[in-house]
Amino acid sequence: MAGVALEDVTKVYDDGTVAVSNLALDIEDGEFMVLVGPSGCGKTTALRMVAGLETITAGEVRIAERVVNRVPPKDRDIAMVFQNYALYPHLTVADNLGFSLRLHKVPRAEIKRRVTDIARILGLEDLLNRKPRALSGGQRQRVAMGRAIVRDPEAFLMDEPLSNLDAKLRVQMRAEIARIQHDLGTTTIYVTHDQTEAMTMGDRVAVMRRGELQQVDHPQALYEHPVNLFVGGFIGSPAMNLVEGVLEHDDEQSGVLWARLGEQRLRLADSLLADRPTLHRYAGRGVAVGIRPEDLKDASMTTGPADGQRLRVSVGLVERMGAETYVHFTLDAKPVFTEDTRELVRERAEMTDNVLEQRGQAPHSECVARVQPRTEAREGEQLELAVDTSHVYFFDLETGQAIDDAASPAPGAAPDGRGDHGGTG
């Protein structure tokens, strides 16, 4: 039993920076927990507090039921993989791998056996006598992984271990780390700013923003039931399109809700309304409407999307990826412009603050659709998009909270304390 628990953990640095505030997170034995969020949101700080490399200002960290606030790193029985690997430059690969075992006075023969085993698992057999400087980036990364695995610790802590690899290797290592973790069943906290990494690797994903936990849940639940604008915009790639709209009831058919986007209207699917009855209370009010790029298709290539499931847009850049095509387009509706979305755009480094401010004031929004590969959409032309209206997201414009009865707020984020995991996909 080696779960890791953080209870209302807060870190205030000496200069007054509040890096983490009231972080509550329960990581079960054997679980792969990913901490994700934009850079500077406190992920590394949180991990370092678990490792014992940073003092804990308030709250409690427990490893295997033991409070470790005052336990030095060497006595916590955890292993850490650093972003820059931190291999011992004066030691060979074999000695790097065996370093901790030697410190723990493991017999020589046993060290040799375990180092050889790990080297085989990670494909490092031929490199055991090399010094780190004679290794490529990918090989160094493997040694760093091996150094953690060899000890069979209570928990692995990994701080963006793949961020220094090239894209191809990153995808490969992603799968490999997930596999190794699964085989070993060791509790893991994995920090990344890359939402794709988070979604593909985590049993559960904890989204952080400015030192505060936003939501913890299984990847699919995060995707389908983001608790607020920030999580909605952060999870998913390309990002969810967020525009301002107005919810309105239809006079004739009671119970039918429409979302007005500029001059056009979308009829919310019955299934959506059944899941989110709260939406009715927003009738007549402005809301943030979120549509994921993959829920938009080229209408001319799908059979009969009904009225109220179509949007006319003007096409901008068309990116053909082969298996799918990204159609950038402008929609006749105001973009959502709040603290959350501003931060998201900044994080994705798409534009400068100036351009951002201008865009925010514009009467139309820049959006993306991920449509069928053989679409005939062309830049400068009009296109009719079919919208999957059973998967539209709504957020309160003032609070940024999701209007979603199934979304579970992060513990501490809502007044009523810990939420359970929301409905899973």
Ligand X SMILES: Nc1ncnc2c1ncn2[C@@H]1O[C@H](COP(=O)(O)OP(=O)(O)O)[C@@H](O)[C@H]1O
Contact positions vs Mg ion (CB under 5 A): 44
User: Applying CB under 8 A, which of residues 147, 174, 193, 292 lies at the interface with another protein?
Assistant: 147
CB of 37 to ligand X, least distance (A): 6
Q: Is 277 in the site for another protein (CB under 8 A)?
A: no
Using DSSP's 3-state secondary structure scheme, residue 249 falls into: strand
Note whether 200 binds another protein by CB under 8 A.
no
Q: Which of 27, 34, 35, 122 binds another protein (CB under 8 A)?
A: 122
- Per DSSP bridges, beta strands 32-36 and 204-209 are parallel
According to CB under 8 A, which residues from 23 to 52 bind another protein? 51-52
End-to-end CA distance of the chain: 29
Contact at 8 Å (CB) between 308 and 389? yes
Q: Which is nearer to ligand X, 45 or 389 (CB)?
A: 45
Q: Is 99 in the site for another protein (CB under 8 A)?
A: yes
84 in contact with another protein (CB under 8 A)? yes
Which amino acid makes up residue 178? Answer: A
Query: 45 contacts which partner out of ligand X, another protein, Mg ion, none, CB within 5 to 8 A by kind?
Result: ligand X
Burial state string for 51-69 with b = 16 or more CB within 10 A and e = fewer than 16? bbebebeebebbbbeeebe
Interaction between residue 94 and ligand X (CB under 6 A): no
Please report, for residues 5, 266, 311, 368, 370, the alpha-carbon distance to residue 329 in angstroms, rounded to integers and kept in the order given. 45, 17, 11, 6, 11
169 binds, among another protein, Mg ion, ligand X, none (CB under 5 to 8 A by kind): another protein
Q: How many CB atoms lie within 10 A of CB 116?
A: 15
Using rule CB under 6 A, residue 13 touches ligand X = yes
**Binding of residue 220 to ligand X (CB under 6 A):** no
Whole-number minimum distance, CB 39 to ligand X, in Å? Answer: 4
Give the three-state DSSP class for 158. Answer: strand
Give the C-alpha separation, 346 to 357, whole Å: 11
Contact residue for ligand X among 17, 136, 399, 424 (CB under 6 A) = 17
Give the footprint of ligand X on residues 18-57 (CB under 6 A): 19, 37, 39-45
Read off the tokens for 196. Answer: 């794709």
In the list 151, 193, 209, 370, the residue contacting another protein (rule: CB under 8 A) is 151
Strand 187-192 and strand 155-159: the pairing is parallel
Sign of the CA dihedral with 249 first, then 253, 257, and 263 last: negative
**Residue 306, SS3 per DSSP:** coil
Interface with another protein (CB under 8 A), residue from 8, 17, 67, 104: 104
| In the complex, minimum distance from the CB of residue 55 to another protein, in angstroms, rounded to a whole number | 10
Alpha carbons within 13 A on the beta-carbon side of 306: 8
Residue 113 is a binding residue for another protein (CB under 8 A)? no
Nearest CA-CA partner of 270 in 282, 255, 248: 255
> Nearer to ligand X by C-beta: 44 or 341?
44
Size of the site for ligand X (CB under 6 A): 12
Rounded Cα–Cα distance for residues 317 and 381 (Å): 11
Residue 88 interacts with another protein (CB under 8 A)? Answer: yes
Q: Does 129 bind another protein (CB under 8 A)?
A: no
Would you mind telling me the total number of residues written for the chain in this entry? Answer: 425
Closer to another protein by CB, 166 or 319: give it. Answer: 166
Task: Report how far residue 371's alpha carbon sits from residue 349's, in angstroms, rounded to the nearest whole number.
Answer: 24
Strand 325-331 to 310-320 pairing? antiparallel
Based on the shown chain and the rule CB under 6 A, indicate whether residue 209 belongs to the binding site for ligand X: no
Question: Residue numbers of the site for another protein (CB under 8 A)?
Answer: 51-53, 72-74, 76, 78-80, 82, 84-90, 99-100, 103-104, 121-124, 126-127, 131-140, 142, 147, 151, 164, 169, 172-173, 175-176
Question: Residue numbers of the site for ligand X (CB under 6 A)?
Answer: 13, 15, 17, 19, 37, 39-45
